[in-house]
Amino acid sequence: MLEHKIFTNGFKYIEVTNLHAQAKIALQGAHVFEYKVKDKPALLWLSSQAYFEESKAIRGGIPICFPWFGKHKEDSSLPQHGFARTTLWELVHEEELEDGSTHIRLKLSDSEETLKVWAYKFEVYLDVVVGEKLSLGLHIINNDTKAFEVSTALHTYFDISHIDNISIEGLDGCSYYDALTQTSHVQNKILQINSEVDRVYQIKENSVRLNDGSKQIGIESKGSSSIVVWNPWKEKSMAMLDMLDDGYLNMVCLETSNAREDTRIVQPTQTHSIEVVYTQS
């Protein structure tokens, strides 16, 4: 079942409920901000202070970074992580699948406003399948006469019991760029987090696992050979108005991405897709 809902301030979202799970997706940003399989804990972390307001990014869930990740390479005055996460998308398809899952498709295309900050014609579709697994596919179509570069991310915030309890497998032996020190390194063991982390890993396998005590989250990606690991730690959490001071203790971002060396060039009429499937056990 799919319901169209509106917060008291007029902010629109979709609520999906089926045999397997429930989810909530904001039309602004095509932003999945809640997903929960029946009889399992929530997969996604959402700040209790998150904004659900026009033109403001939502702190938590799965923001979409497009057409650039992080700061714009040439103009730092442009929005962090691009404009997709704060732009209204259009719901173009909804379908109940035979296995009881729900398929949602949302669309974003160029407009007078987007052309002011990114001078290309495009269409982007986000396919979301809500079921026993959560699947997302971001499909970027170049409708222009010239190639464009995209650096993207599905900026997923995972809900965790405590930052001290987690480890991340699948990154051993991978090179990474540390944005905090602006240096490059190689991961030589299972990753555990005990301080601020902001890294872009160039991964060898498209499978990463987040361990959180008895809970495990699998991350399987396509169209991506990079993953961003981020936790703001205490000082930056305290500086964020849309996050509790200790919010960093119960979240970690593992972001399927096309970042740094994994930035992609999309030729006219071509499509580039980045996909991810999340499973819980």
Question: Chunked in runs of 10, what are the mean pLDDT values of the chain (281 residues)?
Answer: 94 97 98 97 97 96 97 88 97 97 98 96 98 98 98 98 97 97 96 98 95 96 98 97 97 98 98 98 92
Residue with tokens 């719901």: 91
Q: Which amino acid is at 45?
A: W
Domains of the chain as residue ranges with CATH:
2-280 (2.70.98.10)
Instruction: Note the pLDDT tens digit of each residue in 168-208.
Output: 999 999 999 999 999 999 999 999 999 999 999 999 889 99
Which structure tokens are listed for 168? 């991340």
Give the CA-trace dihedral at 11, 129, 264, 117, to 10 degrees.
-10
Residues labelled catalytic: 155, 255
Name the phi and psi angles at 197, rounded to 5: -135, 135
Q: Check residue 271 and give its pLDDT.
A: 98
Burial of 96 (0-12, 13-18, 19+ CB in 10 A): middle
Q: Check residue 123 and give its pLDDT.
A: 98
- Max distance between CA atoms of the chain, in angstroms, equals 51
Give the CA-trace dihedral at 212, 216, 219, 220, to 10 degrees.
160
Q: Check residue 99 and give its pLDDT.
A: 96
The DSSP secondary-structure symbol of 243 reads S
Question: C-alpha distances in angstroms, 1 versus 20, 27, 74, 102?
Answer: 11, 17, 44, 8
Which structure tokens are listed for 14? 């979709």
Instruction: Note the pLDDT tens digit of each residue in 38-79.
Output: 999 999 999 999 999 999 999 999 999 999 999 998 888 899
* Distance separating alpha carbons of residues 272 and 139, to the nearest angstrom: 6
* Distance separating alpha carbons of residues 123 and 32, to the nearest angstrom: 19
Q: Note the residue count of the chain.
A: 281
The whole-model pTM stands at 0.97
Which structure tokens are listed for 152? 């993207």
The DSSP secondary-structure symbol of 239 reads H
3-state helix, strand, coil in the chain (%, to 5): 10, 50, 40
Burial of 139 (0-12, 13-18, 19+ CB in 10 A): middle
